[in-house]
Structure 1
Amino acid sequence: MPSESPVVAAQTEKPQHYLYLKEFRTQQCPLFLQHKCTQHRPFTCFHWHFLNQRRRRPVRKRDGTFNYSPDVYCTKYDETNGACPDGDECPYLHRTAGDTERRYHLRYYKTGTCVYETDSKGNCVKNGPHCAFAHGAHDLRPPIYDVRELQAIDTINISCDKSSNASSISGTPSSLEKDKILAEDPRWNGKC
């Protein structure tokens, strides 16, 4: 009889979350090209109208790294015309209109709760139907980390475990305090 190995549940995205992570602002609006998009003003279209609104799909590659950094912005990207000399192969984050490459990245999309209420249709009163923040516990999703970040977290946890007794004596923050500090970091809350 073969030995049984523990089953690890694969993280599955909710269909609506998957749609936004994969498709939001990755393709040009065909109606805009025909001058018929009714969602151009105010800009609530699911697709991009101008190149500086286009975002690349975030992908976690087989080696565990992302196709582009969710935190380090490209210095060559032109925010006005949406061009980067390295194109889609650029390993850095492009500051697209609305910062969509960052907000709709696997690491950040719907990982924090929105501070704004919803309207009668269930849309965010500030960010509209495409809000990148969760509106309730049912809308939250766990962040997906790069393999290098997971290794760094493991290193921090190991060093915190070794110094947990010393931290309470020396006055350095405990791991709970570090979690609170990270949660209040503006990069997690879309305030950057």
Structure 2
Amino acid sequence: MTMYAALLRGINVSGHRRVPMAELRTLLTELGHGDVRTHLQSGNAVFSNPSDDEDALATGLERAIEERFGFPVPCLVRNASYLAAVAEACPFPAAELEGRQLHITYFGQPVDAARFAGIDPAAHLPEEFRLGDRALYLHTPDGLGRSRLADALSRPSLLKDVVATSRNWNTVRALVEMTAQAPAAQHGADA
């Protein structure tokens, strides 16, 4: 069995596109996934499954969510080793930063630097970003809420045809820890 994290995009924001986590856990269990747990209310779930096809798992979850809740929700599914590798490859000093100062945007496919060529890094200092493996690392010293760089990076024209969803460093670490646990060892309550 492989441990996975499902990253749902754009749910439970200001009371819109509501997906209660208890119902998400039930739905994942009904889809045949094991060891299902959720983290926070922002669309993070972990589960085990024998499949090695992340895209098929994401498509199945998207279809089930739309059938159950009546609206589409883009989902990314990533295995434990990918999540750990992306966290380990962080180019910023994560141990020295607060969770609100560091974010990872996960992409549904590889993206290249040319997509972001129109963003002048010097114009946004001390904020910075770097690309990784289907991920973008964003350092925002004053937090995401005031970040002009985050606004620039999230323009629809830059993310056209790409599923993208962001998590702060605290959530990134929590998902790495949750998916690193062996399926049989998972009996705890939701975080």
TM-score normalised to structure 2 length: 0.25
Say which structure is richer in helix.
Answer: 2
TM-score normalised to structure 1 length: 0.25
Say which structure is richer in strand.
Answer: 2
